[in-house]
Structure 1
């Protein structure tokens, strides 16, 4: 069903913003949901705050491999759409849903292993129990979490970023209302504390996915249930798994840093670190949304055989993403105490506020590096150049960041602030490596759209 090139998105700041603003809202709703979970349990004390933030991070560690894998759905959808084959783009959404099904099987297999696995980590007993309960609930929803990401990437590849935005906004509202009902118990619901935050997140993901799935199944782009092909599924995995492992190994390094390195610094430092990372998601998620919009433009240009437009699109994308992260960085630098204060309502001594403010100032150092790395990684992913990004994330995370932070803290007794400086070094090195790769032009040789 090829009918000529589709209406591609042009590489300009207005068109990027038009494409990006629904993605920004979609990603921002994830930030709001994460912050709501943290802020709405903060009054229960440091242990509950650490349990929810650390539990959410460990849940994402499980989800990030299949989620990163289905990001490739946007790449295929945008390139097939750019070449005029809309029905071909639709098939790749189904391959994303198949990957989501495999992810749920993995989640169910991990649930019985949680108690033994968490015993190996350095959490305080009350934090360990809270993390276990939170994870046990969150892992029940692996299919809907990954499936929602697969369908959102399919629609994004077509240039329709508003429909996933609506699903994300609905999910956010359900999450916040669910927190209010279930954390402290309102309107006759039980007060579940940490478990309530987990159930609210599961409900929000499920409702958002079902709404987007209904739209997908009843749309009029080719057969409702098209014939699928084994070689296309393998092609999805061939290019998608490196993308998934990109995210997994980088996130694994950060999780190792939190669970093994930072956990030994004490509950206060751990709670402060995780709250700072939640706040940094305010700068990262909109930036990632802009980078995703840039990747859609890149993918559609490549599908239409207009690769010379790609560098210009990437430059404009970095201008927008970097400008946003720089602005947030200035806020973190000037008034860190005010920004961090909402996390300290249940902390009477002020120690949490002091260490959190110091960490927030240090995080300013990686804002532009983060914008560059995200923009370049998304552009290379849109071209199908996913293996190089995988190896760079893997090598820099495990040969530079993890050993550097481990030696600094465990052998030289450095504090959490030094560990944060290692994050700056890590992200800066990744940004440089991806810039050199993109400038070298290897991405021009990849071909994802089959004849």
Structure 2
């Protein structure tokens, strides 16, 4: 017996769901790439500091972002079962995770200096690592909450709003990077601090 034939419409439906999510994931990569390019133009120290500080922040944040992302699973289950009254509470649970994660990330902020001193990088790189890491940690809530709210849409099969939110976040991030890292148009030049501020602001815009 041959494998059952899959209707062409199934592929179209799958692509309609998947393509926006693929592009959304690509927007994250694009944001980080642009951050690194601008910081490389600003100074080699800023570029050197952004990578370890960014990786450490992402590692700590992933626990909460991943947990909040499970909202999509519950939303999809309740949407398919036509139990819409359960969708709202599921999303709120994700937002509670975002709040807990934001508090946890804020508690790590005072430890940034000692952590990067242990690494043993040059003093100027340590200073910039500390600044970048602290500011990223303070932006924990929008970064985690975005994952929960994205689950509300993607779990119901509405993935295009998720993509457009990520496009907006990318545009905000690139614009603020350019204006504030180099001090364009009368804005103060803020260097690596701006890269973190731009990332936090872009996550806020995505909400």
Same fold at TM > 0.5: yes
Q: Where does structure 1 lack aligned partners over 5 or more consecutive residues? A: 1-9, 210-451
Structure 1 match to 2:5:
none
Alignment of 1:313-332 (within 5 A): none
Could you tell me whether the CA contact under 8 Å between 2:91 and 2:148 is conserved in 1? yes
Structure 1 match to 2:27:
29
Which of residues 148, 164, 168 is equivalent to 1:170?
168
Structure 1 match to 2:191:
193
Distance change (3 Å), C-alpha of 1:88 and 1:11: farther
- SS at 1:52's partner residue? helix
**Aligned equivalents of 1:145 and 1:202: distance in 2?**
7
Q: CA deviation at 1:163?
A: 1.2
**Aligned equivalents of 2:156 and 2:168: distance in 1?**
22
Structure 1 match to 2:101:
103
**Aligned equivalents of 1:116 and 1:53: distance in 2?**
18
Could you tell me whether the CA contact under 8 Å between 2:180 and 2:187 is conserved in 1? yes
**Aligned equivalents of 1:168 and 1:109: distance in 2?**
28
**Aligned equivalents of 1:81 and 1:193: distance in 2?**
45
**Aligned equivalents of 2:27 and 2:131: distance in 1?**
24
Could you tell me whether the CA contact under 8 Å between 2:180 and 2:194 is conserved in 1? yes
TM-score (norm 2): 0.91
Distance change (3 Å), C-alpha of 1:122 and 1:156: same
Structure 2 match to 1:93:
91
Pair 1:50 & 2:55 matched: no
Q: Where does structure 2 lack aligned partners over 5 or more consecutive residues? A: 1-7
Could you tell me whether the CA contact under 8 Å between 2:48 and 2:125 is conserved in 1? yes
- SS at 1:53's partner residue? helix
In the comparison of the two structures, how many residue pairs are matched? Answer: 200
Q: CA deviation at 1:92?
A: 0.5
Superposition RMSD in Å: 1.6
Q: CA deviation at 1:67?
A: 0.5
Structure 2 match to 1:203:
201
Bigger CA radius of gyration = 1
**Aligned equivalents of 2:12 and 2:54: distance in 1?**
35
Runs of 4+ in 1 over 4 A off after TM superposition: none
Deviations for 1:389-417, whole angstroms, at most 9, x for unmatched residues? xxxxxxxxxxxxxxxxxxxxxxxxxxxxx
Distance change (3 Å), C-alpha of 1:132 and 1:84: same
- SS at 1:192's partner residue? coil
Q: CA deviation at 1:13?
A: 2.9
Structure 2 match to 1:132:
130
